[in-house]
Amino acid sequence: MTNAAKAGLDRRQFLKQFTGATTLVAATGEVLAKAPEVLPPIWKQTSERKIRIGIVGGRFGCSFQWHEHPNCTVAAVSDLIPKRCQALQQRYGCAKAYESLEKLVLDPSIDAVGVFTDAPSHAKHVLLCMDHGKHVISAVPACMDLEQAQAMKAKKEATGLKYMMAETTYYRRHTMMARRLHRDGAFGNLIYCEAEYYHPWPSGSGERHHLAFYNGKRTWRYGLPPMLYPTHSTGFLVGVTGERLTKVSCVGHRPPGDEMYGEDKNVYRNPFDSGMGMFLTDRSHPFRCNVSWGIKAHGERAQWFGDKGAMYCAASGGQPTNIIIPGKRMRSLPNFWEALPPPLRHASGHGGSHTFITHEFIDALVEDREPAIDIYEALAYTVPGIVAHQSSFKDGEQLAIPQFDPA
């Protein structure tokens, strides 16, 4: 059943959520008369069930709203670092704490685990949770190599447990709007998309110190290959159209003289601070997708170009949000908050996405359905970057991207 059908959502209710909706409809007519399948449904409580979740990782893991969701209880928390564990307890009002994820998964009262640990540990931690019968939501990326991707797919299919990747791009308002416009045909044929994630932390900057070191020791971010962190970019296309990236040619940038990047300078043997990838999709669409820790620009954004319409996310260079569809321009977006339980209808991290991620995972467990960013979607966002990184060592040679969809 579609989201719209589940919600019993009528068109007028849906349109109330959109700024300028009346004129939008008049302008695009038939296009927007179709059922808005991709709209998150207007929330209605259908169950009193409480999912008992354990949250692991006391930095990013503190930024969700598990304690506010009417169908969720934070049953336990964990971080290897005591003060981060305490931060989780305080944030979620949770009395029970474990010294590690490895201890937390032994608790039989826990239904699901939120894995907000370091990126290189995600695959290992997700597999561990599933081995103990727990559903899992994991921070991005899903994994760091193709063997891990295969193992995660196999484990999910063998256990039938739910997996969700907490991709913030998917629930940015721009992405939600782009999904809706695409599904309703407002772009026409979506010919081309450009997406980018720019987060500069150049040598000598406070941001590099903050991200790459903790207590004087290197963190997992030290020398991190940008294309092993691709999901904030790939999510803008895969998360909007559902298409798959099948080929990539990626050119990497080697910053001269930087102490952090070089094949002998970090655990990843990574010389690149930026990756500019040109992908091809299974629908023969070109997709330009960049990730950079070096260039002087900021943000996660995309622009989508069809033969009838286009949409531009706001950019740090001054480009405003702009939607140009037949006969109409729009510069503002709705917040879609009616899709959420009332306690979650407020601003949240990464473009308002955290409340939606919280709700989607809990709602999927309550309704016993796969979450929107399930294992197949998560790998479709993550694996293309792994192959793009390989391409950049071959001066941009075009490589085929293996697919991890159901057989």
| Residue with the shortest CB distance to ligand NAD | 59
Pick between residue 82 and residue 133 the one whose CB is nearest to ligand NAD: 82
Pick the piece of the chain touching ligand NAD (CB under 6 A) from 68-76, 97-105, 201-209, 328-336.
97-105
Nearest CB to ligand NAD, comparing residues 60 and 376: 60
Give kind and range of the element (H or E) at residue 129: helix 122-131
User: Does residue number 373 form part of the binding site for ligand NAD (CB under 6 A)?
Assistant: no
Q: Give the full edge-to-edge strand order of the sheet including 72-78.
A: 97-98, 72-78, 51-56, 112-115, 135-138, 163-165
| Binding segment (CB under 6 A) for ligand NAD, from list 31-39, 51-59, 233-241, 304-312 | 51-59
Distance of closest approach, residue 121 Cβ to ligand NAD, in angstroms? 5
Shorter beta-carbon distance to ligand NAD: residue 182 or 221: 221
Q: Where are the alpha helices (DSSP H) in 216-348?
A: 231-241
What are residue 74's DSSP bridge partners? Answer: 53
- Smaller CB distance to ligand NAD: residue 91 or 285? 91
Cβ neighbourhood burial of 101 (10 Å; 0-12, 13-18, 19+): buried
How many Cβ atoms are within 10 Å of 366's Cβ, its own excluded?
19
CA gap 32, 363 in Å, rounded: 27
Does 59 contact ligand NAD by CB under 6 A? Answer: yes
Question: Among residues 78 and 358, whose Cβ is nearest to ligand NAD?
Answer: 78
Does the protein bind ligand NAD through residue 382 (CB under 6 A)?
Answer: no
Q: Which two tokens stand for residue 295?
A: 């260039």
Is 60 or 192 the residue whose CB approaches ligand NAD more closely? 60
Question: What is the distance between the alpha carbons of residues 394 and 248, in angstroms, rounded to a whole number?
Answer: 12
Shortest CB 279 distance to ligand NAD, Å: 21
Cβ atoms of 280 and 247 within 8 Å: the answer is yes
Query: Total binding residues for ligand NAD by CB under 6 A?
Result: 24
> Letter for the amino acid at 65?
Q
Please compute, for residue 107, the number of CA atoms within 13 A of its CA located in the half-sphere on the CB side.
23
Counting runs of H as helices and runs of E as strands, what totals does the chain give? 13, 17
CB of 24 to ligand NAD, least distance (A): 29
DSSP code string of 375-389:
HHHHHHHHHHHHHHH
The answer to the question of residue 79 lying near ligand NAD (CB under 6 A) is: yes
Q: Output b/e per residue, 148-175; b: 16+ Cβ within 10 A.
A: bbebbbebbeebebbbbbbbbbbbbbbb
- Judged by beta carbon, residue 220 or residue 376, the one nearer ligand NAD is 220
Contact segment (CB under 6 A) with ligand NAD among 36-44, 79-87, 105-113, 175-183 equals 79-87
Say whether residue 225 binds ligand NAD (CB under 6 A). Answer: no
Q: Which is nearer to ligand NAD, 54 or 309 (CB)?
A: 54
Site string for ligand NAD, 145-184 (x = CB under 6 A): -----------------------x----------------
Among 14, 18, 43, 116, binds ligand NAD (CB under 6 A): 116
Q: Does 377 bind ligand NAD (CB under 6 A)?
A: no
Helix (H) / strand (E) containing 363:
helix 349-367
The Cα angle at residue 5 between residues 341 and 163, in degrees rounded to 5: 60
45-53, 98-106, 146-154, 377-385 -> range binding ligand NAD (CB under 6 A): 98-106
Q: Which residues contribute to the site for ligand NAD (CB under 6 A)?
A: 56-60, 78-81, 84, 100-102, 116-119, 121, 139-140, 168, 219-220, 350
